[in-house]
Chains A and B, each alone.
Chain A
Amino acid sequence: MPYKFTLALLCIFTSFISGQSQKVTLITHWIPQAQFAGYYMAYEKGFFSKYGLDVTIKNIDVDKPNEEELTKGNAEFITSFLSTAMMLSDQYDLVNIGQTSRKSALVFVAKAKSGIKSINQLKGKKIGIWAAGFQEIPRAFTARYDLNVKFVPIRSTINLFIEGGVDLMTVMWYNEYNSIINAGIDEEDMSAFFFSDYGMDVPEDGIYTTRKFYKENKTVCENFLKAVMEGWNYARENRKEALDNVIQRMKEARIPANYSHQSWMLDKVLKVIFPEGMSNNGKLKKSEFDFTYKILKDSGYVKKTLTYEEFIGQ
């Protein structure tokens, strides 16, 4: 493969001019899937190497929050929800070095046959939610609309919802939403409440590191973001290649994988990262921070004062 060979040469060359290449580890906040295709492409296509980074990508154990991994020194970078990171920023001294997602992909889904058609009908209902985290925005949502729901923490599957053990399920539009479709429930047979339609359009995935690492390795952090954004742009232009890589990683991780689902996921994730009529330089905007901060502050998930500048390491 002359291409790979050239790439290898390039890597060696870049490490020579920048001295030793920086070894860093990234831990994503969920199992390998198309949600992280941009990171995989940045790795596979040598964008990290281009910026003098020797990146190892790891997946989180879904039973633990990956913020812990930063403080344990297992990773230099993690991905996380903006809201989760804000909540945990004080605890783990997190700095947002990049914001890839620009929109909310959160959805409450009910079976249409349950008769739930409007948001008011959610009152007193059992809603499945990820036990591992990402609960603050759904909880803020139900609090804002005073729905008094009962959240049922679920490890990772939609099976309880399929069985009818919960009335609704908190899903990501790019993930579980399609898992439900692929379990034989047609989209028409679903009642979906997109958070973005209810004033809760909170940006999600971003890249975090510790304040300490950020202060010592600003360029590395900047380069890391650049490489990731290049990876996402590459994935957007080369979906098939990106998908093949995702599927391969999933199979290696012994995770059920199919093109149908990953293709759906990549498509929706790209819609969230590159929303129509919006450019994305990967930097968190102050407006995004303020919007999310207000929701979290109002719902009591963030108690201490946090400023935009603090949050992005300035």
Chain B
Amino acid sequence: MKLNFIKNSSLKIRLAGSILLVAISILSVMFVINFIISRNFMFNNIEQNARNLTTARINELEKILKPLEKIPAGIAAFLESEDISREDIYTIIPRFLAANDDVYGICIAFEPVKKGDKATLDAPYFFKDKGSINDLNVKDSYDYTIWDWYQIPKMMNKAMWSEPYFDEGAGDVLMLTYSVPWYKEVNGNRILQGIVTVDLALDKLQKIVSSTKILDDGYAFLISKKGTFLTYKNSDVLLHQTIFSIADEYQKPEYREIGKKMIAGESGFADIDEFDTGENFRLFYAPVKVNSWSMGLMIPKDELFADVSELNFLLYFIGLVGIGLLTFFTFMITSRLTKPLKLVSTIASEVASGNIKSAKSSIIELTESNKQIDLMMNIDKNQIKDETVLLLRSFYIMLEGLDSLTQRVRLAVIQIVSSNNVINSSVKELEEAITTQAASTGEVTASANEINNNVNSLSVSVNKFSDNIVNADQLLNEGIEYIEEIRKAMDSIVNLTNSMVNKLNLISRKTSNINKVTSTIAGIADRTNLISLNAAIEAEKAGDFGTGFGVIAREIRRLSDNTSNSLMEIESIVNEVQNSVDDGVTSIKDFSIEAKKSYNYVNSVAEKLSRIIDFNKNLNPEFDEVNSKIQFQLESAGQISDSMIHLSSNAAHLKDTLKEFLSISQKLNEAVVSLRDSVKQFNL
């Protein structure tokens, strides 16, 4: 899994967000399902109510209309079966009228009888007026044959209900007429004799429909078979508008579609917006079959869903509170979960900046007591369930490791520092020794030169003496003086030689001192190497935190390797010096022996000189021997001088090597200082 670093939001928020998202999703789904189910339930319930209510109302309407249909039908049958006189009509019809409360008027309109060009109209009309029954003849008012109530049933050959109309005579009420044609058989043909009608005021029917209520603001309306509104809650619409003119005027094509279904005698439900208010309604419509009207029941949707909405609101409220609580607890838990993480992160930062001590104390602080730390550390890792504790535990273990590593490194640094100090003082000592050695060598050289000179002058003296031996007599006394001088010179040579041997011994001792120091240094270098190796291994364990150590450890190891190399070089040089000094000492010893021999010999010469004087003539060959021995002495002195020169040049080389060694030591020192600084970072 890749970590998404782009989503730079806190774990707390992401965690809480995810939980809330899931919770809200589940709640929403529950909410929607509940809404749909309860809505459908309510919907079906109300729709069933609406259906029942409408059917009941329609039944009421038909209960009024159907019996009324029977009145003209009965009269028509009566007219068809009997020859009825005008008097009969004027007697019977008012009785019918009086017996039927719902009937406003009854008319018997005769089909005009043609007499030449003129047709005789006759339509006695009986109507109620202020409690009494009056009559008139319609023919006096108009040609009823072209009126709908007469013409349509006649043309259609069937009993029919008229479209409602205003009748001013009936007191400005909407009227409705049921017309029944009646016939007579004339020569086997059914010939129309006229139309019998009953009139009724629409107000009773209107009341039935307009008193229909569903929910708080639900209402019913009635339309005629032409779609004309017969009842509506807004009386402006009555008779003036058809459902189709409404559709056109208010640009509501759904009214036209529903209207077509209604006048076609269909029943059903439809969604409809109230044309004048725009409010949403559920419409149930069903036909009044008796007269092909249609009744509509408008159910306000907001009320229809009011109960659902109430339930939904409650659910919504509970849901909101729930989500609120969930949010609160999620934040609390995630805060608690992420708080140690934050601390661990702080601890890690502390470790990174070297504050191991404060990092450890932070962990201890976090676990509240050392006991818990111990508990945490001693429990088997697999038994710990809390990831945070596991993390802290791992962190603590890492810190412990880091701590011991830095402790050891610090100790190693201290060791290195002290070793370095020893090296420094040893080097200084060595330098002094070399300086002393140089001075001694100089002195030896000077002594050797002096010996040389003395030997030369001795040789000159011997030669002179040899030359002058001829004049021995004369010169004997001078010879004794010379011999005295030779003896003195020999004395000084012997002294000088001794002191030279002493000096050389001193050099030899110092040189072996150097050897001791170098072996000490070599030992230190080996140890340094070992320590740095360890440090490197520990650094590897410490991971990123140990990278610095690792680099320093490598540097120290490299320097200790250089030190070992230099030491080996120094050792070889010192060995050479030792050899030269040994050579010198051997030469000087040889010279000393020879010098002592010469001295003894001079003494014996001096002894013998007195006798020589005596034996003057025999003296010459002995002097030759002296001469040759001096010659040998001269060679020995030259050898010493050479050895010394060699020694001197070796010493100079040694000095150079020591300088180099010093600079290496200095670098080592610097490395140690840097190491010490690194270690210092760890506040142990």
Q: B146 touching A153 by the CB < 8 A rule?
A: yes
- Asked if A257 is an interface residue, CB under 8 A from chain B, the answer is yes
Contact check, B156 vs A155: say whether CB atoms are below 8 A apart.
Answer: no
Is the Cβ of B249 less than 8 Å from the Cβ of A260? yes
Least distance between A258 CB and chain B CB atoms (Å): 5
Chain A residues with CB below 8 A from B239, complex form: 256
- Chain A: residues with Cβ within 8 Å of the partner, total of 28
CB-nearest residue of chain B relative to A158?
Answer: B226
Q: Point out the residues of chain B lying under 8 angstroms from A153, CB to CB.
A: 146
Q: Indicate if A63 sits at the interface (CB-CB under 8 A).
A: yes
Compute how far the CA of A184 lies from the CA of B226 in the bound complex, rounded to whole angstroms: 7
Taking the complex as formed, is B674 at the interface, i.e. its CB lies under 8 A from any CB of chain A? no
Q: Which of A145-166 contact B (CB under 8 A)?
A: 152-155, 157, 159-160, 162-166
Does B263 make an interface contact (CB < 8 A)? yes
Contacts of B168 in A (CB 8 A): 254
B146, B166, B245 pick with most chain A CB within 10 angstroms: B245
* Known pairs A254-B166, A259-B249; A184 contacts B155 (CB<8 A): no
Interface residues of A in 136-194 (CB under 8 A from B): 152-155, 157, 159-160, 162-166, 181-184
Whether, in the assembled complex, A102 has its beta carbon less than 8 Å from a beta carbon of chain B, the answer is no
Is the C-beta of A103 less than 8 angstroms from some C-beta in chain B? Answer: no
State the CA gap A260–B227 with chains docked (Å).
14
Interface check A88, CB cutoff 8 A: no
Would you give the shortest CB distance from B347 to chain A, in whole angstroms? 83
Given contacts A63-B143, A160-B151, A165-B151, contact A184 B242 (CB under 8 A): yes
Using known A-B contacts A152-B155, A160-B148, determine if residue A260 contacts B245 with beta carbons closer than 8 Å.
yes
Cross-chain contact A258 with B155 (CB below 8 angstroms): no
Measured between beta carbons, the chain B residues less than 8 angstroms from A258 are 240-242, 245-246, 249
* B147 cross-chain contacts in A, Cβ below 8 A: 155
B293 within 8 A of A: no
Chain B residues within an 8 Å CB radius of A261: 245
The reply on A131 being an interface residue by CB < 8 A is: yes
A155–B147 alpha-carbon span in the complex (Å): 6
Q: Which residues of A contact B248 (CB under 8 A)?
A: 181-182, 260, 264
User: Is the CB–CB distance between B244 and A184 below 8 Å?
Assistant: yes
Query: Which residues 216-239 of B have a CB within 8 angstroms of A?
Result: 225-228, 239
Fill in one digit per residue for A211-243: 1 if any B CB lies within 8 Å of its CB, else 0: 000000000000000000000000000000000
The reply to whether A165 and B242 contact each other, CB–CB distance below 8 Å, is no
Q: Are B148 and A183 in contact (CB under 8 A)?
A: no
The answer on a CB contact under 8 Å between B227 and A184 is: yes
Q: How many residues in B have their beta carbons less than 8 Å from beta carbons of A?
A: 33
Asked if B256 lies at the interface with its beta carbon under 8 angstroms from chain A, I say yes
Provide the residues of chain B in CB contact with A155, threshold 8 Å.
146-148, 151
* B260 beta carbon closer than 8 Å to chain A: yes
CB-CB under 8 A from B260, the residues of chain A are 184
A165 touches B152 (CB 8 A): yes
The residue that B242 contacts in the complex, of A131, A157, A182, A263, with Cβ under 8 A, is A182
B429: min CB distance to chain A, Å: 126
For residue A256, give the distance in angstroms from its CB to the closest CB of chain B.
Answer: 5
In the complex, B615 has a CB within 8 A of chain A: no
Chain A residue contacts of B245, Cβ below 8 A: 182, 258-261
Q: Are A159 and B249 within 8 A (Cβ)?
A: no
Q: Is B538 an interface residue (CB 8 A)?
A: no
Q: How far apart are the CA atoms of A154 and B246 in the complex, in Å? A: 26
Is B69 an interface residue, CB under 8 A from the partner? no
Instruction: Flag if B226 contacts A154 (CB, 8 Å).
Output: no
* Nearest B residue (CB) for A264: B248
Q: Are A63 and B241 in contact (CB under 8 A)?
A: no
CA distance A153 to B142 in the complex (A): 14
**Chain A residues, Cβ within 8 Å of B240:** 251, 256-258
What A residues does B199 contact at CB under 8 A? none
B124 an interface residue at 8 Å Cβ cutoff? no
Q: Tell whether B300 is near chain A: CB-to-CB under 8 Å.
A: no
Complex: how many Å from CA A155 to CA B168?
Answer: 18
Q: Which B residues are in CB contact (< 8 Å) with A256?
A: 228, 239-241
- In this complex, the member of A154, A164, A260 whose beta carbon has the largest number of chain B beta carbons within 10 angstroms is A260
Partner of B146, one of A131, A163, A164, A181: A131
Least CB distance, B36 to chain A, in whole angstroms = 36
Interface centre among A63, A163, A184, A259 (most CB of B within 10 A): A184
Q: Are B163 and A159 in contact (CB under 8 A)?
A: yes
- A residues in contact with B259, CB < 8 Å: 184
Verify A164–B156 contact, CB threshold 8 A. yes
User: In whole Å, how far is B306's beta carbon from the nearest beta carbon of chain A?
Assistant: 33
Q: How far is the CA of A114 from the CA of B588 in the complex (A)?
A: 161
Given contacts A184-B226, A184-B259, contact A163 B244 (CB under 8 A): no
Closest residue on chain A to residue B247 by CB atoms: A260
Known A-B contacts A159-B226, A160-B155, A258-B249; A154 and B242 likewise in contact (beta carbons under 8 Å): no
Cβ distance A253 to chain B, nearest Cβ, rounded Å: 11
Given A183-B242, A184-B226, A256-B240, also A159-B152 (CB < 8 A) = yes
Task: State A63–B121 Cα separation when bound (angstroms).
Answer: 15
Residues of chain A within 8 A (CB-CB) of B156 are: 163-165
CB pair A157 B227 closer than 8 Å: no
Please judge, given known A-B contacts A131-B143, A260-B249, whether A181 and B244 are in contact too, CB under 8 Å.
Answer: yes
Q: How far is the CA of A257 from the CA of B241 in the complex (A)?
A: 7
B242 contacts across to A, CB distance below 8 A: 182-184, 258
Which residues from 85 to 108 on chain B have a C-beta closer than 8 Å to any C-beta of chain A? none
Cβ B226 vs Cβ A166 within 8 A:
no
Interface centre among A131, A162, A258, A263 (most CB of B within 10 A): A258
Docked Cα-Cα span, A264 to B242, in Å, equals 15
Please state if A183 and B249 are interface contacts (CB–CB under 8 Å).
no
9 contacts between A and B (CB under 8 A): A63-B142, A154-B146, A159-B226, A165-B152, A182-B242, A182-B244, A257-B240, A260-B241, A260-B249
B interface residues (Cβ-Cβ under 8 A, vs A): 142-143, 146-148, 151-152, 155-156, 160, 162-163, 166, 168, 172, 225-228, 239-246, 248-249, 256, 259-260, 263
- Top 10 nearest A-B pairs (CB, nearest first) are A165-B155, A260-B245, A260-B249, A260-B248, A155-B146, A183-B226, A182-B245, A182-B244, A131-B146, A258-B245
Given A165-B152, A258-B245, A258-B246, 14 extra CB contacts under 8 A: A155-B151, A159-B162, A159-B163, A162-B225, A163-B155, A182-B242, A184-B227, A254-B168, A256-B239, A256-B240, A256-B241, A258-B240, A258-B249, A260-B249
